Amino acid sequence: MASSTEPRSGLVYGWSIGETGWKEGMDNNLLWLGRFATHLSIKDRDLATPPGSPAAGDTYIVAAAPTDAWVAHAGHVAIWTGSAWAFGTPRVGWLAYIEDEQKMTVYKSGGWSAGIAI
C-alpha cells in the first residue's frame, strides 16, 4: 500500500516496507512538527518584506502584499531555517503568541484574529 497524507496536518504516514520516499517523508514530518506543531511564537506579524538578518528559528506571520522571498505567502507562518524560509499554511484553530504585541492570536475562517493581550 502506498503512503497516505493526513488531511488536517499534511503529515505522511502508512509507508509499506521497502517503499521509496520513507526517509524524506519522515524527515519532512519531523521538521513540520518541530516548526509548526509546538509552541508557535511569532516575532512580528506586520512585516510584508523578510527581515534582513534573521536568526535560525525566527518566526513571522507574513503581512498582506508580501514581497521578495515572501511573495504569495500572505497570512502564512514563515520560519527562517538558517538558510531559507519555510512556510506553513495555517489551519483553523492554530494558536500563536505574538512577541512584539504580547498577544495571543488564533487563526479562524478569514485569517488571524486581532488577538488578546496577555
pLDDT in tens, 42-81: 999 999 999 999 999 899 999 999 999 999 999 999 999 8
Domain count, the chain: 2
- Domain coverage including residue 23: 1-38
Asked if 53 and 9 sit in the same domain, the reply is no
20-45 b/e with 16+ CB inside 10 Å = b?
eeeeebeeebeebeebbeeebebbeb
Asked if 56 and 84 sit in the same domain, the reply is yes
Asked if 10 and 55 sit in the same domain, the reply is no
Asked if 3 and 31 sit in the same domain, the reply is yes
Asked if 59 and 83 sit in the same domain, the reply is yes
Asked if 21 and 75 sit in the same domain, the reply is no
Entry pTM:
0.77
The DSSP call for residue 48 is S
Q: Which helix (H) or strand (E) holds 1?
A: none
Asked if 78 and 101 sit in the same domain, the reply is yes
Residue 105 near residue 115, CB atoms below 8 Å: yes
pLDDT in tens, 1-53: 678 877 766 777 777 887 777 888 888 878 777 777 777 899 999 999 999 99
